[in-house]
Amino acid sequence: MGTLLPTCEPSLPQLRPRGRSSWWTEWRRGVPAPARAGAQSPSGVASASASAEGLRKGIAEFYDESSGLWERVWGDHMHHGFYDPHAPASLADHRAAQIRMVEEALSFAALSDDPQKKPKRIVDVGCGIGGSSRYLAKKYGAQCKGITLSPVQAQRAEALAIAEGLADKVSFQVADALEQPFPDGQFDLVWSMESGEHMPDKRKFVGELARVAAPGATIIIVTWCHRDLLPSESSLRPDEINLLNKICTAYYLPAWCSAADYVNIAKSLSLEDIRTADWSENVAPFWPAVIRSALTWRGFTSLLRSGWKTIRGALVMPLMMEGYNKKLIKFAIITCRKPE
């Protein structure tokens, strides 16, 4: 599949936060190198492989630990909601907004409800506890396979599918999105809702989505990105990189890239009908709502029981808001189609 495109490499050497507080020291001991800053030793392939394995382990453990808390507070859709940026969001609206996110993504990609054209075989890449998988399977009457790095998520997704009478429609397994356990050309909808940000090799990630897509299939990627660079810029500013690094620390994220980088990757893979949009304004109410939910008694006590990784993630949620407010962090959708 090749390596990451140059435009998706970190814009500058990643910066270490000033000072070494106790959490930073603990993180340096426990978090895999790819989430730190392009840390690779001169030993080459072997060290890169070890780093990738460490990142996979960290992501799996993070979601093993935090998914139960998320489900108790927010339900089975483990992603942002889609809001009207000009209307206040009520507390009761947040779960409905997560469903709107799914529907808006399908609409943006021009998925057809025509029985002859609707998808029949779907893969949910980074499926969480299977909220999107079950929703899409019911909406289209399709067979859906979900993959996640988290054994806890896969087990819970299977249990929810059985409870909803969907065991014959959806299935879940532990697998790496960069090495999917599926043959070429199997799916006519390839769905990735907020998993791309965890991928250390964005080109290989999109390449795998394209590989498992059937000819003519639609690919939908909804993901966190950094802002597009200006024509006069060769990198993000150091203060921007430092902010992103702090977020990477908590959420097990490798190098960020922009929506424009995703478009360039899709073009390089000869994908067609490439479209993208910035939905940052539409998700703006989400992180304040998550923070408010954590400050309730139920949210606070559940957070304390969840473990250090989840607590650390909660502590940097204000940084996500800061990144959005500074227009550094973008919430992007990228859709395309595999040639017939």
Q: Nearest CA to 130 among 80, 71, 189, 202?
A: 71
Instruction: Pick the more confident residue, 55 or 135.
Output: 135
- Identify the residue with better confidence: 23 or 178: 178
User: Which of the 8 DSSP states describes residue 131?
Assistant: H
**Amino acid identity at 59:** I
Tracing tokens 């957070």 back to the chain, one arrives at 303
Whole-model pTM: value is: 0.81
**Per-residue model confidence as pLDDT tens digits over 95-134:** 889 999 999 999 999 998 888 889 999 999 999 999 999 9
Task: List, for residues 67-85, the tens digit of each pLDDT value.
Answer: 776 667 667 888 889 998 8
Residue among 220, 270, 236 at smallest CA distance from 10: 236
What lies within 8 Å, CB to CB, of 153 at 6+ separation is 63, 64, 67, 127, 128, 129, 130, 172
Could you give the C-alpha distances from 248 to 59, 198, 238, 338, in angstroms and in order? Answer: 11, 9, 15, 31
pLDDT digits (tens, 9 = 90+) for 153-196: 999 999 999 999 999 999 999 999 999 999 999 999 999 999 99
**217 to 111, 189, 220, 301: CA distances (angstroms):** 10, 6, 10, 44
The whole-chain average pLDDT of the chain stands at 81
**pLDDT band at 15; cut points 50, 70, 90:** very low
Query: Is the pLDDT at 12 greater than 60, yes or no?
Result: no
- CATH architecture assigned to 52-338: 3-Layer(aba) Sandwich (3.40)
